[in-house]
């Protein structure tokens, strides 16, 4: 964690609560982007982003400096969005492990590395069909460029579990893209 953030947090905890705005300014857009990718609705994402920062402020004293503030706030954002999403019904695609096992890593890499407009559009549509947890995993690792360790901390997983889930989600995306081609 950056020293200036550590110092700001200590000052906020000592009563200079107006400084919290600096953390909101620094991480607000990133948190909103993560949440909107999860919930696919801007208005809901705005409300959930506010809820995230309110919860973070209320629990700031429980922040442990063993991870970065960004990892901690992303974890709160993830849990806030997931709690909200559990109250809704979603039409997501479920794939069995036999289907996924038949897909080679080379096929996945080739399809996901192709950068044609049509392929990127297909990729985005496939990602939209993932469940919120899967979309978050993809968002954190590929869009936010978080390390597997950071992704695991945010999602409450072990690093190996995050790696396995990422591996499976990549195959699922490939399968969804192929289904669309037919």
Residue with tokens 């597997």: 148
pLDDT at residue 92 is higher than 60: no
Q: Are 150 and 162 in contact (CB under 8 A)?
A: no
Q: What is the domain partition of the chain in residue ranges? A: 3-85, 97-181
Task: Count CB neighbours of 82 within 10 A.
Answer: 16
Residue 19 carries which DSSP code?
A: G
- Distance between CA atoms of 42 and 35, rounded to whole angstroms? 9
- Distance between CA atoms of 74 and 154, rounded to whole angstroms? 6
What is the value of pTM for the model shown?
0.73
Element containing residue 121 per DSSP (H, E): helix 117-128
Chain center to CA of 105: 23
CATH fold of 97-181: Arc Repressor Mutant, subunit A (1.10.10)
pLDDT at residue 3 is higher than 80: no
40: left (phi over 0), alpha (psi -120 to 50) or beta: left
What's the count of helices (H) and strands (E) in the chain, helices before strands? 10, 0
Q: Could you say which architecture CATH assigns to the domain 3-85?
A: Orthogonal Bundle (1.10)
Q: Tell which residue, 8, 71, 84, has the closest CA to residue 45.
A: 84
Written as six digits, the tokens of 80 are 């806030």
Written as six digits, the tokens of 13 are 């905890």
pLDDT at 164: 92
Higher pLDDT, 6 or 96: 6
pLDDT at 107: 75
pLDDT in tens, 39-51: 888 999 999 999 9
Written as six digits, the tokens of 35 are 């949440």
């Amino acid at each position: 964690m950056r020293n200036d953030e550590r110092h700001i947090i200590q000052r906020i905890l000592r009563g200079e609560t107006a400084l919290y705005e600096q953390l909101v300014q620094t991480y607000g857009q990133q948190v909103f982007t993560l949440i909107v990718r999860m919930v696919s609705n801007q208005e809901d994402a705005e409300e959930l982003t506010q809820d995230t920062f309110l919860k973070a402020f209320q629990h700031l004293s429980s922040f442990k400096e063993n991870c970065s503030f960004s990892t901690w706030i992303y974890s709160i954002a993830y849990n806030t969005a997931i709690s909200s999403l559990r109250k809704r019904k979603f039409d997501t695609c479920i794939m069995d492990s036999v289907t996924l096992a038949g897909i080679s890593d080379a096929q996945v890499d080739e399809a996901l590395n192709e950068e044609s407009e049509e392929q990127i559009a297909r990729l985005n549509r496939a990602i939209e069909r993932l469940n919120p947890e899967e979309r978050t995993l993809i968002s954190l690792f590929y869009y936010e460029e978080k390390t597997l360790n950071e992704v695991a901390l945010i999602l409450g997983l072990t690093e190996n579990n995050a790696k396995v889930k990422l591996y499976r989600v990549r195959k699922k995306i490939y399968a969804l893209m192929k289904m669309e081609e037919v």
